[in-house]
A and B are shown apart, each in its own frame.
Chain A
Amino acid sequence: MSSQAAVFLGCSRSGVGCLVPSTWMDRRKCCVQLSVHPSRGLIDEKFNVQVQKFLPGCQLTVHALHRCEDRNSWEAFGHYMTDASGTVNVSQDTSVGGTYSGVEAMGLLWSLRPVPGSKPGLRLRKKNVQTPMEVTISVYQGHQTEGFVDQVPLASVLVERWYMAPGVRRIPVTEDGLTATLFLPAGPGPFPGVLDLWGAGGQLVEYRAALLASHGFASLALDYLTCKITMETGKMVDNQYFETAYRVLQQHPQVLSSRMAMLGFSFGTSFTFKMAVYSQVIKLRCAVCIGGSHVQPIDASVKEMFTYFNNNASKIRVNEKNEVIWRDVFQPTADPSIKVDMGRLQCPLLLVVGEDDQNWPASEAAKDMKEMMERAGNSHLLTILSYPKTGHLIEPPYTPHVRASIFRIFDTHQKLMLLWGGQTVEHSRAQEDAWKKILVFLRENLYGAANPSATLSSHL
């Protein structure tokens, strides 16, 4: 052995290493098997990562690397010990260190974070939903914490994570002045329709609508801030814009006109609450609001909402890290003239609340809405999902959590570091649980209950 090149192998139960010839190591390397199943899955689908045929009682690091569309790299890793048969099964075994710990089947995805040396304030969002998110899963010897790029792994596989299931159709919509994208599920239809609204960042964000279509809902992602009309005329859209979007979706031959919902996030919840309660055109079977508030001047247009925001700018705080906290701006007060009258709501509403939301006062708003609805006698329509240590950005599961990130104001292009809140572990659990329940809620209300006598919230 002394005459051959040797490799230090961190092995054996006592943690003491041993020297082995590198030719032997080469042979071992070609035996170790890394598999991820499924290798092509939907974003919200679980996968199973297994390492097999390595040595027993050995330290291994399972690592995930993703290079996103804007060329930043994100990584996650877990520290494991192979069992007596030289196997690590991420769904069953305990990670004893890394970016996640414990038994976490999907930790390699939800604990992804920018690699050391990255710019601060990054956020991971897929722009092109027609291609998959590609993640390289690798296994390294020993318990590594850095320098992965400089090392050769024992094995490596590529995994695809898709927002669009096969057969889902993506259709840009520009009629009637809209800037939107329609996603139709595979199959004959007709399908229930969901109008999908994002927040104050603007842009046409498609990924959640694409994923909803993969679950059987015809979904329209709508840009209402940086849409063509606003970019060309400088004027923000009026409330009719949302009604037009609803109408266009509803009248599509493959959409069930009587089975429509709205799903709003953040600033998008403002319009969801408003339309659900006041619109004569929009008749929803149900609504989902994530991380938002019903506080707004009654019947405010988009422009008026921003005016309200600016008038309350004194309530914006900045913490010691220069992270901007917006949560106090849309706080509910006793004044009914700046709240949507939730007592007039006539359809089931699911509120998803992060208790550590630093951007919108979702918790306080939910509490206020509940009180309004209890007084009005329609609180049986309300279901609240409230998650401790969970922040503002409650997104589809198994995508990374960020506590703060750079936010570009859509019209001035000014950049801020916004504090979203949340602790990674709890926030990731919340995303997984909330998404599951959102799908059940939509399915029950839009496709009909499996058990006709079941109440709306009993399944949740």
Chain B
Amino acid sequence: MLRAGLSVKTLWQLMEMKTKTCLKVHGRMADLQHAMGAFRWMSSVRPAPVLTAAPVRALIDEQISIKGRFLPPNSPITLCSRMHSEDGDLWEAFAHYNTDASGSFSLTSDRSVGGSYTGCEPMGLFWGLHPPPGSREGLRLRKRNVETPYTVHVSLLKGHVSPSGGPITELAAVTTERSYMAPGVRRIDIRQNGIVGTLFLPPGPGPFPAMLDMWGMGGGLNEYRSALCASRGYASLSLAYFEHKDLPGPLRELNVGNEYFKSAFRLLQDHPQIVAERVGIVGLSFGVYLTLNLATQPGINPSCLICINGPMGRSHFLPGDKGEVKYWNYDERGYIAFRQISLPSNMAPEYKVKMEKINCPLMYIIGEDDLSSASTENADQIEEELRAAGKSHLFTRLSYPGAGHLIEPPYAPNARVTMWRIKPEKMVALFGGYDAPHAAAQEDAWRKILCFLESNLRG
């Protein structure tokens, strides 16, 4: 049957044809399975393809090395990743590769020639995840329960195919689990002294350096960055300050003031397993303003500050507030870019943080395609004021072209657009950022954040 020079592709097609013939002869399911199995093994020349991922249980910021063996040489294959978010939405990514002369491939060295990403991207199957076409709009992937991992199913498919949401025929598969919490990290609900937050402690006796962790006006309580910091050896307190049921006052308003944030900082300092002199603060978006404002309060001496894409002041209105509407820009779909409101020129003078009072190293991280916050302008303003105060040695700037507002721990998908509010009316916000440069920014920024924390909290 085999002619000399028969190409591998033809061989596979012949095997498929034989399978189809066999299907007509054997009608029953069990026989079908055996028939398919039998023809899969018709060739005793090659064993079944094997797909491996290492480590198969990883932390979110760890690279997973995905490899395949025992495939036909120099042949097209597709890798497809799939997972379901906590809300049940399907997220998937795929990439096209060609096996080498030995029938192997490795995502750490090979280049994708098409799909959700191209080029050599070892973690592209994770940061390139998207809801398939037809999904609900404005979805954003955020882990609410950090005590369980993301389960991502990675499949190896024959040829260069686009598996968009439908059934796929796998040659091999591997399941990976990606966690924000390392084994032994302790998660502690904090509801004391009026503070609403979650504390994460690394394993071990300590004492540990610590970070106070704040997000933006999306509100709620986002634990994942803190959990990951604790997995890297830093105690961390995720702090809720807006739109959380356990906070006082009406939900849509900011009801806590300086004393609240100071209490949170002191809670960390007073903790028996935390070194009081080694506490820093990280903020994203409006959290940057809160970080800078807190750092300049009397009696508060953080060891370092990390500011991601946020303002060094605020207007009289809060971001998202009706009063700010005149500053909003809309695109052709009616999606909103909040950016303008955070320009230093639009800030109320009494709410601009006095940067000359900052006494510790400050790292400012910019996504240059940030459509939600005027990050570059704020970084410029901060840098200028520090320079004027003779403190420019404290300032570090990281700026990433093509990256958006949500610079988060690495290897997670970017949300260029996200459903901001549903009630009283639907609002879709533009955050910016393009997949590949945003992913590169997250990876680089996180590495630099960890180095920055190491020098300032452990040096």
Contact = CB atoms under 8 A, between A and B. Distances in A.
B328 interface: no
Nearest to A189: B37
Interface stretch (B9-17, B174-182, B342-350): B174-182
Interface string B31-72: 001101110110011111011000111110010000000100
B204 interface: yes
Interface residues of A, number: 47
Interface in A17-75: 26-27, 29-31, 33-34, 37-42, 53
B56 A165 contact: yes
B153 interface: yes
A38 B57 contact: yes
A156 B204 contact: yes
Contacts of A152: 205
B172 A188 contact: yes
A31 B455 CA distance: 10
B59 A166 contact: no
A78 interface: no
A39 B37 contact: no
Given A41-B57, A157-B204, A452-B44, A187 B174 contact: yes
B203 A158 contact: yes
B183 A167 contact: no
A190 interface: yes
Interface in A131-170: 134, 136, 138, 152-153, 155-160, 162, 165-167
Given A165-B175, A167-B153, A167-B173, A447 B206 contact: no
A259 B57 contact: no
A30 B458 contact: yes
A153 to B, nearest CB: 6
B173 A187 contact: yes
A136 B233 CA distance: 15
A234 interface: no
Interface stretch (A250-258, A358-366, A391-399): A250-258
Contacts of A153: 204-205
A38 B37 contact: no
B55 A34 contact: no
Contact of A39 (B47, B70, B182, B208): B182
Interface in A260-298: none
A434 to B, nearest CB: 22
B278 interface: yes
B233 A33 contact: yes
Contacts of B153: 167, 186
Interface in A404-453: 443, 447-450, 452
Contacts of B36: 190
Contacts of A443: 47
A26 B34 contact: no
Contacts of B169: 188
A415 B167 CA distance: 55
A98 interface: no
Interface string B182-194: 1110000000000
Nearest to B457: A30
A162 B458 CA distance: 32
A354 interface: no
Contact of B55 (A38, A157, A158, A188): A38
B356 interface: no
B207 interface: yes
A155 B275 contact: no
A33 B34 CA distance: 54
B183 A26 contact: no
20 contacts: A31-B458, A40-B179, A153-B204, A153-B205, A156-B184, A156-B204, A157-B182, A158-B182, A160-B183, A165-B56, A166-B57, A166-B176, A167-B174, A187-B173, A253-B33, A254-B33, A257-B34, A258-B41, A447-B70, A448-B48
Given A40-B179, A160-B183, 6 more contacts: A38-B55, A39-B59, A39-B183, A42-B56, A157-B184, A448-B48
Interface of B: 29-30, 33-34, 36-38, 40-41, 44-48, 50-51, 55-59, 62, 70, 151, 153, 155, 169-177, 179, 182-184, 203-209, 233, 275, 278, 458-459
Interface of A: 26-27, 29-31, 33-34, 37-42, 53, 134, 136, 138, 152-153, 155-160, 162, 165-167, 186-188, 190, 216, 251, 253-254, 256-259, 443, 447-450, 452
The 7 A-B pairs at the shortest CB distance, nearest first, are namely A167-B175, A158-B184, A447-B47, A187-B173, A156-B204, A40-B57, A448-B47
